[in-house]
Structure 1
Amino acid sequence: MSEIIGQSEERKTLYYALGFTLAFFLYLLFVLSPNGKCFAVDVGSNSLGLTFSYTQEMVQGFFGLRTKEQLICYGQFLQIWDVIFAIIYTLMYATWIKYLFNQRRLLMIVPILGMLADWSENFAEILMLKSYFISNSISETLVSVGSGINSFKWVMSSLTYLIILVGIIIAIIAFIKRKLN
């Protein structure tokens, strides 16, 4: 009886993982990308958070390439759309980890830490934007903090991908062993 309940729970987790994966791609395609167009430029990066780290010159250049309206849009993007995206990708990764490592749920802390780092980085970027609007300059300390948080976010993302990849490999090996026996 407990085996049937366990399989039902596992199947439910798989459905959640697939659902969050679908939500991830739909949100990326129909919400995040369209809302990011208002601050996009033809030259250079369209997001500070997509690099592993950044310097004061990079941030100053990123802001300098955009109009005030584009920077306001970027700030709103960081406060709304990117926050929701972090929730969606964390739910997706965490449910895949739960599905692949049912007995090691503590591993789900890795994508959660990544989400918290993403939110913290957004907050640092918003502070940089406010500083830029006020004085047309950005504190080196604030850039260093934002860059450090960004690097931590990417380390957590890489660990998340590694955990999921190891889980997939373990699942494939277990499947092959079952088929051979």
Structure 2
Amino acid sequence: MPLLAGFATSLSLIIAIGSQNAFVLRQGLRREHVLPVVLTCALADALLISGGIAGLGALFTGAPLALTIAKYFGAAFLFGYAVLAARRAVAPGTMSPADHVPAALRSVLLTCLGFTFLNPHVYLDTVVLLGSLANQRGTDGRWFYGFGAVLASFTWFFALGFLARKLAPVFARPRAWQVLDGTIALLMTTLAAWMLLT
């Protein structure tokens, strides 16, 4: 069934630990602008998947310069976020609202968009791969496949963002935030280096 195939394939691509997931998890733990963040991630995926089904995959595979530019900007963005996470790890906070000043929604959404659109692999996964797999399903089946892929994205990001609060008791301790931010800093640095080397 195209819908289930799209759901399963998309979910397997999204669940892989990456910079976007780490960002959504952190926002969920902080309970800060969670709905706008998960909506931004899911709607961006919906846009990219739909574009892939509509035939934009050929545009990306035929424009290697655009992917190269995105690669370098994306790596710089990840390195910058790694530095911020490392600084937070040195002086960790807690889950208490009194312990941190909430970031402005605009700043959070711009960061979220950076994690989404400055990653060249997101275009390969959503536009090229999911788009080509959907188009193998024929004229009618491709949109059912795409709907399944989009549904997986919404399911994953909403679950990650809103179920993260279940970990609040663990993150009531500064040490837990220190470990999380240290891990995020290491992950972002690794992903940035991997992005530059591939």
Q: Same fold (TM over 0.5)?
A: no
TM-score bracket, shorter-length normalisation: 0.3 to 0.5
Q: Greater relative contact order (Cα 8 A, min sep 6): structure 1 or 2?
A: 2
TM-score normalized by structure 2? 0.32
Specify the structure having the higher radius of gyration (Cα): 1
TM-score normalised by L of structure 1: 0.34
